[in-house]
């Protein structure tokens, strides 16, 4: 089927889902900056927010929200209609625990650090997807856990100290340098390697192009720049969805 997926149709027949966002972006270099305009990003975002809100309503968390699992229904007749697929990792939100796994680059900080979790891990993944649709590449490195967390901290700031105090895997990435009050410092690569036994590979993605904060999106090269108001609204939305300190909330906010 050339990588295409099958989805149930209302008629009882099957519907072919043509391709994922990742595959479409890879096949057509102009897809991200062409088809996915400001308005069209909103259309995609709305559909995904509705899907995540539905999952929240029935008490489920998808746990694997990434571009590979967002399928385009029909690029010709319905080029902006998308479906969330692959629920193999879905779990009851009330039963989420430290064994939650997400792909590096789309993994929420609470998963890295083994903090208390809720459906916000899916909202984090969606925020990363919307950033991907804006810049055309992954916002956070996908090849190395340390680099992914390092870029998060550089772009979004360090989680609050009281949050770090409660994490199960915080010491993989941070060193406690003061206890009263507590103060955590992000580890150097060699410290991470010594702690985990994992080698750190050089950064890739937006960070290597100078995107050191969410306000640097204007540094990306786009043929048709956003109007200032649209751009600011979009960045404000991403800041809410990609909040480094997880707090309980409802879509589209993580706090």
CATH number at residue 148: 1.10.510.10
Instruction: Please tell me the total count of domains within the chain.
Output: 1
CA 90/CA 77 separation, integer angstroms: 30
Task: Convert the pLDDT of each residue in 186-210 to its tens digit.
Answer: 999 999 999 999 999 876 554 555 5
pLDDT of residue 14: 44
Is 246 contained in some domain? no
Give backbone dihedrals phi and psi of 73, rounded to 5 degrees, phi first: -70, -50
Is 27 contained in some domain? yes
Whether residue 252 has a cis bond before it, omega within 30° of 0: yes
Is 193 contained in some domain? yes
Is 62 contained in some domain? yes
For the cut 70, the answer to whether the pLDDT of residue 111 exceeds it is yes
Q: Which domain holds residue 101?
A: 5-241
pLDDT of residue 136: 77
pLDDT of residue 224: 53
Residue range 171-183: mean pLDDT, rounded: 94
Task: Convert the pLDDT of each residue in 9-45 to its tens digit.
Answer: 444 444 555 677 777 666 655 555 444 566 677 888 8
Is 251 contained in some domain? no
Give backbone dihedrals phi and psi of 91, rounded to 5 degrees, phi first: -150, 155
Among candidate residues 114, 112, 119, the one with its CA nearest the CA of residue 150 = 112
> Predicted confidence band at 4 (pLDDT cuts at 50, 70, 90)?
very low
Please tell me the least confidently modeled range out of 25-39, 62-76, 98-112, 209-223: 25-39
Among candidate residues 142, 74, 67, the one with its CA nearest the CA of residue 103 = 142
CA 64/CA 84 separation, integer angstroms: 10
The token duo for 30 is: 């102009």
- Beta-ladder partners of 183: 178
Do 81 and 47 meet the contact criterion of CB atoms below 8 Å apart? yes
pLDDT of residue 36: 57
For the cut 50, the answer to whether the pLDDT of residue 7 exceeds it is no
Is 254 contained in some domain? no
Is 255 contained in some domain? no
Is 205 contained in some domain? yes
pLDDT of residue 225: 54
Question: How many angstroms separate the first and last alpha carbons of the chain?
Answer: 41
For the cut 70, the answer to whether the pLDDT of residue 137 exceeds it is yes
Q: Give catalytic residues, as residue numbers.
A: 64
């Amino acid at each position: 089927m050339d990588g295409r997926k099958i989805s149930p149709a209302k008629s009882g027949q099957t519907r072919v889902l043509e391709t994922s966002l990742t595959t479409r972006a890879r096949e057509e270099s102009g897809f991200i900056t062409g088809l996915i305009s400001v308005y069209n990003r909103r259309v995609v975002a709305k559909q995904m927010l509705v899907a995540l809100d539905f999952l929240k309503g029935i008490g489920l968390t998808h746990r694997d929200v990434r571009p590979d699992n967002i399928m385009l229904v029909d690029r010709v007749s319905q080029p902006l209609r998308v479906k969330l697929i692959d629920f193999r990792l879905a779990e009851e939100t009330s039963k989420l625990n430290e064994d939650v796994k997400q792909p590096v680059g789309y993994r929420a900080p609470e998963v890295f650090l083994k903090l208390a979790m809720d459906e916000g891990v899916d909202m984090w993944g969606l925020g990363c997807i919307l950033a991907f649709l804006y810049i055309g590449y992954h916002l956070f490195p996908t090849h190395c856990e340390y680099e992914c967390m390092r870029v998060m901290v550089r772009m979004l700031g360090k989680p609050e100290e009281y949050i770090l105090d409660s994490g199960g895997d915080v010491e993989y990435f941070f060193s406690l340098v003061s206890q009263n009050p507590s103060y955590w410092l992000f580890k150097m690569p060699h410290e991470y390697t010594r702690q985990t036994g994992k080698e750190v590979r050089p950064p890739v993605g937006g960070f290597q192009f100078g995107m050191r904060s969410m306000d640097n999106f204007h540094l990306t090269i786009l043929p048709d720049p956003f109007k200032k108001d649209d751009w600011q609204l979009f960045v404000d939305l991403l800041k809410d969805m990609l909040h480094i300190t997880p707090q309980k909330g409802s879509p589209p906010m993580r706090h």
